[in-house]
Amino acid sequence: MAGYNLEAIEAAPFKDDLDIVIPTIRSLDFLEQWRPFLKPYHLIIVQDGDPSIKIRIPDGYDYELYNRNDINRILGPRASCISFKDGGCRCFGFMVSKKKYIYTIDDDCFVAKDPSGKEINVIAQHIKNLETPSTPYYFNTLYDPFRDGTDFVRGYPFSLREGVPTAISHGLWLNIPDYDAPTQLVKPRERNTSLCRYVDAVMTIPKGVLYPMCGMNLAFNRELIGPAMYFSLMGEGQPISRYDDMWAGWATKVVCDHLGFGVKTGLPYLWHSKASNPFVNLKKEHSGIHWQEEMIPFFKYLRFSKESDTAAKCYMELSKMTKETLGKVDPYFVKLADAMVAWIEAWEELNPSVVDDKKKCNEKDVKAK
Ligand X SMILES: O=c1ccn([C@@H]2O[C@H](COP(=O)(O)OP(=O)(O)O[C@H]3O[C@@H](CO)[C@H](O)[C@H]3O)[C@@H](O)[C@H]2O)c(=O)[nH]1
Can residue 218 be called a binding residue for ligand X (CB under 6 A)?
A: no
Instruction: Give min distance, CB of 173 to Mn ion, in A.
Output: 9
* Amino acid of residue 248: A
Could you tell me where the DSSP H helices lie in 187-302? Answer: 222-225, 244-259, 278-301
Among 15, 17, 26, 100, binds ligand X (CB under 6 A): 26
- Quick one: what does residue 336 bind among ligand X, Mn ion, none, with the CB cut-off 5 to 8 Å set by partner type? none
Can residue 180 be called a binding residue for ligand X (CB under 6 A)?
A: no
Instruction: Give min distance, CB of 299 to Mn ion, in A.
Output: 25
Can residue 171 be called a binding residue for ligand X (CB under 6 A)?
A: no
User: Nearest Cα to 276, choosing from 322, 236, 242, 326?
Assistant: 242
* Contacting range for ligand X; rule: CB under 6 A; set: 2-10, 100-108, 251-259, 292-300: 100-108
Specify whether the CB–CB gap between 136 and 262 falls below 8 A. Answer: yes
Site string for Mn ion, 94-123 (x = CB under 5 A): ------------x-x---------------
Can residue 23 be called a binding residue for ligand X (CB under 6 A)?
A: yes
The Cα 86–Cα 282 span in angstroms is 15
* Amino acid of residue 302: L
Specify whether the CB–CB gap between 85 and 234 falls below 8 A. Answer: no
Residue nearest to ligand X (CB): 87
- Which residues touch 178 (CB under 8 Å, ≥6 apart)? 212, 214, 216, 272
The Cα 298–Cα 305 span in angstroms is 16
Among 20, 164, 214, 259, binds ligand X (CB under 6 A): 214
Task: Give the nearer residue to Mn ion in terms of CB position, either 175 or 310.
Answer: 175
The Cα 114–Cα 111 span in angstroms is 10
Q: Binding residues for ligand X, how many (CB under 6 A)?
A: 21
Specify whether the CB–CB gap between 101 and 14 falls below 8 A. Answer: yes
- Quick one: what does residue 25 bind among Mn ion, ligand X, none, with the CB cut-off 5 to 8 Å set by partner type? ligand X
Q: Where do contacts with ligand X occur on this chain (CB under 6 A)? A: 23-26, 48, 85-87, 89, 106-108, 178, 214-216, 235, 242, 245, 274, 276
